[in-house]
Copies of this chain bind each other. A is one copy, B any other.
Amino acid sequence: MYKQNIKDNVRVVLSHTTHPGNIGAAARAMKTMGLRHLYLINPRHFPDPQAVAMSAGADNLLNEAVVCGSIDEALQGVVFTVAMTARLRDICLEIQQPREAMPELLQQAAAQPVALLFGTEMSGLTNEEMGKAQLLVNIPANPDFSSLNLASAVQIICYELNLAAQIQSAIVPNVRPAPYERVEGFFTHLEKTLYEIGFFTTQNPARLMQRLRRLFARARLEQEEVNILRGILSVTTGYNAQLKARYREEQCSRTSEKT
């Protein structure tokens, strides 16, 4: 089934979950909505009997869960990541409601793996983790009491995903989005380049990189585009190196003229 294939490209990633019961309850929530790929970044207790108890029959998802040591490991091969946030103040990325975001996630999932990223029970995702996503999603809630249980948040998102899948047309987009590690590779290259060319001397590097991440997140980079951008970066530093070398040469010859 085509629709089932799309959902099989969706992974739920839980970062640093404290309570194993929440992992089990999240697995149950996923399975009720037809999802099955669970990734856990450094869970405090896993595997754990409480997780099995709370999964209430979704223990197959727990058995097949992928435990990762870092977010980079969990997002390996992923072309589109949606990160959850309870805050509306984050300016580094576009924020949408679940209903708006799920159709795009599914469209991306038609081709390659996508991820739904959830933070810890107490503090959610770090800014660094959110920076790895292309889109932030906020579940609209009571402003005076907005702290949803982790598994409840997973339930709502998977429910919206399931609804979107039911009405999703079978149009496969004609693009080849870049996988996570290629996009991150580009950002590393970009930052290094900006240092090298002396761009960061008068700016706040972290802040600036966040703005640049935001820009490229909106763009949903394709593989070919990453190639092009990195090509530009390589040429930039190459040109810069040539300039430096020429400057050094000129200085040397000037010095030798004086002596």
A interface list, Cβ under 8 A from B: 25, 28-29, 31-34, 56-58, 99, 139-142, 145-149, 151-152, 155-156, 159, 162-163, 166
Contact = CB atoms under 8 A, between A and B. Distances in A.
A163 B163 CA distance: 15
Contacts of A141: 32-34, 162
A29 B149 contact: yes
Nearest to A146: B32
Q: How many identical chains are in the complex?
A: 2
Which of A33, A57, A159 gathers the greatest number of chain B CB atoms within 10 Å? A159
B34 A149 contact: no
Given A25-B149, A29-B148, A32-B142, 10 more contacts: A25-B152, A32-B141, A32-B148, A32-B152, A33-B142, A56-B147, A99-B163, A140-B163, A149-B155, A151-B152
Contacts of A162: 140-142
Contact of A145 (B31, B99, B147): B31
Nearest to A142: B34
A32 B145 contact: yes
A32 B142 CA distance: 5
Contacts of A57: 145, 147
A166 B140 CA distance: 10
Nearest to A148: B32
Contact of A148 (B99, B140, B142, B155): B155
* The 8 A-B residue pairs with the shortest CB-CB distance in the complex, in nearest-first order: A34-B142, A152-B155, A31-B145, A32-B141, A32-B148, A156-B159, A32-B142, A32-B145
A171 B106 CA distance: 36
Contacts of A145: 31-32, 57-58
Nearest to A35: B142
B142 A159 contact: no
Contacts of A166: 140
Nearest to A54: B149
A79 B258 CA distance: 99
A25 B25 CA distance: 12
Nearest to A163: B140
A148 B32 CA distance: 6
Contacts of A34: 141-142
A151 B154 CA distance: 13
